[in-house]
């Protein structure tokens, strides 16, 4: 049963009258065949139109051969006359993206000879895969030329050439398909076989913004936003840049520079903190002598690398165990213990057992975390530190 495709007569048709020819139940879904439709079925990287047949929601549209099936959840009897209404906002959005894609793919093909080998028109993302590499500069040039095509407001022509005409025609997407081939021409930019509805003039596309590019297979995957999608993207980015601009007291065009300054400042401050820590620990180290039995230091914050070096040196100076603890009584502590006299691999089991800790290391140095109060931990060290621990 051949369905008349009204979207080919007028891609801007929002509402139409039709007669139900067939209604068959498949599970909880019914498939409706109409004599004619403005609903574009899923295909060629583009999702199906949605909308209504009278008050019945159309959730999906598929084609099999010449017939188009409208999937609905309520049956409509054959013979009924219905009014079809497509979600036109959604359709127009897809036409903006799809026509934009033809311009970009046509430009890439004409300039570099690369083919579009993959097209996806998703709810948020539109991607095109090309079988050759592009640089960022080349992409910017393509983007500018694509927007020139929009500014020129060219008519998008649809034609159905004969076999002879086709064989003489240079067009993209040349694949052997049975039946009539539909050619979409954007004068000066692209000639391509395509079955999807397009805008009538390139000016309807609005801005064509190529938002990203990554290596993909032997070529690149380019992401694109056209028309109102590009506007939405602009709004989100503007909102973000305004917040950053206010937070950093920088002009919107100078935020990247302001972030760089901030990063440098953070780096400098980190270096200063490390320097203070180092000189504090150097003074501590000077106080540890051969007379020191056990040694423990408790800090709220510390650079663990600096602390590890400190314990490494401190353990050579004291008689028993040298411990550094970072944290507080509530959250618990990260610890580093060092000793040249006590086998810490054994000792740490005792420590972990007493303070619900975990961790380990070498006989000379262990690391881990535990729960407990500083006083209790200090008491434990003083009591047990100079003892050699038996298994």
The answer to whether 186 contacts Zn ion (rule: CB under 5 A) is no
The answer to whether 281 contacts Zn ion (rule: CB under 5 A) is no
Cβ distance to Zn ion smaller for residue 186 or 381: 186
Cβ distance to Zn ion smaller for residue 104 or 281: 104
Cβ distance to Zn ion smaller for residue 161 or 359: 161
**Minimum distance of Zn ion from residue 85's CB (angstroms):** 25
Q: Is the distance from CB of 118 to CB of 127 less than 8 angstroms?
A: yes
Cβ distance to Zn ion smaller for residue 196 or 322: 196
Candidate segments 104-112, 186-194, 281-289, 371-379, binder of Zn ion by CB under 5 A: 186-194
What residues have CB less than 8 Å from 164, skipping those under 6 apart?
A: none
Candidate segments 187-195, 225-233, 258-266, 369-377, binder of Zn ion by CB under 5 A: 187-195
Tokens of 279: 């000189």
Cβ distance to Zn ion smaller for residue 196 or 365: 196
**Minimum distance of Zn ion from residue 40's CB (angstroms):** 12
Candidate segments 74-82, 108-116, 188-196, 286-294, binder of Zn ion by CB under 5 A: 188-196
Cβ distance to Zn ion smaller for residue 196 or 348: 196
Cβ distance to Zn ion smaller for residue 20 or 194: 194
Q: How far apart are CA 97 and CA 226, in angstroms?
A: 5
**Minimum distance of Zn ion from residue 66's CB (angstroms):** 20
Half-sphere exposure of 286 (CA within 13 A, CB side): 6
> Of the candidates 277, 276, 379, 270, which has an alpha carbon nearest to the alpha carbon of residue 326?
277
Q: Residue 192's beta-bridge partner residues?
A: 172, 184
**Minimum distance of Zn ion from residue 172's CB (angstroms):** 9
Cβ distance to Zn ion smaller for residue 46 or 352: 46
Q: How far is CA 140 from the centre of its chain?
A: 22
**Minimum distance of Zn ion from residue 93's CB (angstroms):** 15
The answer to whether 191 contacts Zn ion (rule: CB under 5 A) is no
**Minimum distance of Zn ion from residue 95's CB (angstroms):** 10
Which contacts of 343-350 are long-range, i.e. CB under 8 A and separated by 24 or more positions? 343/388, 343/389, 346/389, 346/390, 346/391, 347/321, 347/384, 347/389, 350/384, 350/389
Q: How far apart are CA 361 and CA 323, in angstroms?
A: 14
- Helix (H) / strand (E) element for 32: namely strand 29-34
**Minimum distance of Zn ion from residue 45's CB (angstroms):** 8
What residue number has its CB nearest to Zn ion? 194
The answer to whether 344 contacts Zn ion (rule: CB under 5 A) is no
**Minimum distance of Zn ion from residue 98's CB (angstroms):** 6
Tokens of 98: 């799809």
The answer to whether 126 contacts Zn ion (rule: CB under 5 A) is no
**Minimum distance of Zn ion from residue 195's CB (angstroms):** 7
Site for Zn ion in 193-212 (CB under 5 A): 194, 196
Number of chain positions touching Zn ion (CB under 5 A): 2
Cβ distance to Zn ion smaller for residue 8 or 280: 8
Cβ distance to Zn ion smaller for residue 192 or 324: 192
Q: How far apart are CA 245 and CA 254, in angstroms?
A: 8
Q: Residue 74's beta-bridge partner residues?
A: none
Q: Is the distance from CB of 171 to CB of 63 less than 8 angstroms?
A: no
The answer to whether 23 contacts Zn ion (rule: CB under 5 A) is no
**Minimum distance of Zn ion from residue 219's CB (angstroms):** 19
Handedness of CA 88, 91, 95, 96 (dihedral sign): positive
What residues have CB less than 8 Å from 84, skipping those under 6 apart?
A: 15, 16, 17, 18, 34, 37, 38, 39, 51, 52, 53, 58
The answer to whether 104 contacts Zn ion (rule: CB under 5 A) is no
- Helix (H) / strand (E) element for 269: namely helix 255-287
Binding residues for Zn ion, rule: CB under 5 A, are 194, 196
């Amino acid at each position: 049963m051949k369905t008349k495709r009204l979207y080919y007569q007028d891609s801007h048709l929002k509402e139409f009258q039709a007669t139900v020819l067939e209604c068959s139940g498949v599970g909880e879904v019914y498939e409706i065949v109409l004599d004619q439709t403005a609903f574009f079925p899923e295909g060629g990287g583009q999702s199906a139109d949605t909308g209504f047949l009278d008050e019945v929601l159309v959730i999906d549209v598929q084609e099999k051969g010449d017939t188009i099936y409208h999937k609905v959840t309520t049956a409509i009897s054959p013979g009924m006359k219905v009014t079809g209404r497509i979600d036109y906002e959604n359709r127009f959005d897809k036409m903006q993206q799809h026509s934009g894609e033809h311009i970009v793919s046509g430009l890439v093909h004409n300039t570099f000879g690369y083919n579009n080998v993959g097209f996806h028109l998703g709810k948020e993302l539109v991607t095109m895969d090309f079988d050759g590499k592009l640089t960022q500069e080349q992409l910017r040039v393509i983007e500018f030329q694509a927007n020139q095509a929009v500014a020129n407001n060219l008519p998008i022509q649809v034609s159905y050439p004969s076999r002879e005409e086709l064989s003489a025609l240079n067009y993209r997407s040349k694949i052997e398909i049975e039946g009539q081939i539909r050619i979409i021409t954007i004068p000066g930019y692209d000639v391509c076989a395509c079955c999807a509805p397009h805008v009538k003039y390139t000016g309807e596309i609005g801005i064509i913004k190529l938002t990203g590019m990554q290596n993909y297979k032997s070529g690149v995957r380019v992401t694109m936003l056209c028309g109102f999608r590009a506007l939405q993207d602009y709004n989100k980015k503007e909102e973000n840049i305004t917040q950053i601009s206010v937070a950093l007291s920088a002009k919107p065009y100078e935020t990247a520079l302001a972030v760089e300054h901030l990063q440098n400042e953070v780096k400098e401050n980190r270096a200063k903190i490390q320097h203070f820590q180092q000189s504090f620990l150097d003074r501590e180290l000077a106080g540890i002598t051969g007379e020191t039995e056990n040694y423990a230091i408790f800090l709220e914050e510390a650079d663990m690398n600096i602390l590890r070096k400190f314990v490494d040196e401190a353990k050579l100076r004291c008689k028993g165990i040298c411990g550094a603890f970072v944290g507080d009584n509530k959250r618990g502590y990260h610890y580093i213990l060092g000793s040249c006299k006590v086998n810490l691999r054994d000792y740490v089991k005792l420590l972990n057992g007493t303070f619900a800790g975990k961790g380990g290391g070498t006989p000379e140095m262990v690391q881990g975390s535990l729960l407990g109060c500083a006083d209790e931990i200090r008491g434990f060290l003083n009591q047990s530190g100079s003892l050699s621990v038996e298994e």
